[in-house]
Amino acid sequence: MGFDLHNHSYFSDGIHSPSTLVKLAKERGLDGLALTDHDTLSDVEEFIEAGRKAEVIAFPGVELTTQHHGVELHILGYGLDYRDQALCRRLYKVIESRIHRAKEIVHRLQRSGIDLAWEDVENVCQNTHGKYVGRPHIYRALKAKGIIGPDPERLGFRYYLGAHGLAYVPHHELPTLEGLDLIRTAHGLPVLAHPGRLDSYNLVRTLKENGLAGIEVFYPTHSLEVTRELLQIAEEYKLFPTGGSDYHGELDAVQMGTATVERRFIKPLLQRYIHRIKPEQERDNLDK
């Protein structure tokens, strides 16, 4: 079935616990999964322990929201030392900045006549087990108040909160090159997330020169043509291809396992997992 290397728990903007994600992966017959919550590593120990108990390969990870000269880039970090103090301190500051950003988004909605209070967002966040607050929480608050109705194509999200939306506030928390360096310093592998969303791939060379190790090729919204082009880019720049569903848990959204990557593509990541997570006696089978 392959590996789904892009999943979110309720420590950021997903709705399931880390251990529930592992359970779902096992039920769906996946070879393994990664937990990549936004800008936080609060969930990693529970995730790793759940993987051990379920005998599912569970890669610890993170998804950093970064900016490079006005372009928003999401950088996935895999196999890193989730106890790295420099990384943890920086992520704490990022989360604090995200809260200020979320409050500014709500303020802009209010100025536009939208009846949404910060307390409405806090109510949605009651099931969030970390301090993270993002646009998905504001979106859920808008839906909870009936301001946005059924939205299978997420048109409401784009209208209010998208990059060109009514109340959009850009990210300024973390420069991309700093994010790459944070992951590498924590002994992780930085990967460019969902590059199919970008207007061009011109930045890949710069990212590679600054430590990028992989690129997310297999993704639910990537067409066959885009996937093929990204595989060529991965080969050209010697980046290992990854893939994942970007699963958040909503029933009306993309489901876990919708996009996966085969074992043969992710040998660098498997090596990190084998030597850091699994006991010595279990390594031989994983390395095949």
| Chain segment 86-126, per-residue pLDDT in tens | 999 999 999 999 999 999 999 999 999 999 999 999 998 87
**What pTM value is reported for the model?**
0.88
H or E stretch covering 88: helix 85-111
What pLDDT, on a 0 to 100 scale, did the predictor assign at position 281?
Answer: 43
Q: Residue 100: which residues within 8 A CB-CB, separation 6 or more?
A: none
Residue 168 clears pLDDT 70, i.e. is over it: yes
- Under the banding of pLDDT at 50, 70 and 90, the label for residue 280 is very low
Indicate the Cα dihedral angle 102, 108, 111, 114, nearest 10°: -70
Sheet of strand 3-4: strand arrangement = 3-4, 32-35, 57-68, 71-78, 189-192, 214-218, 240-243
Mean pLDDT across the stretch 5-21? 94
Of 215, 228, 158, 224, the C-alpha closest to 189 is 215
Mean pLDDT across the stretch 138-143? 95
Number of DSSP helices (H) and strands (E) in the chain, helices first: 11, 7
Beta bridge partners of 34: 59
Question: What's the CA gap between 136 and 14, in Å, rounded?
Answer: 9
Domains, the chain, in order of start with CATH, read: 3-83+172-286 (3.20.20.140), 92-161 (1.10.150)
For all residues of the chain together, what is the average pLDDT? 92
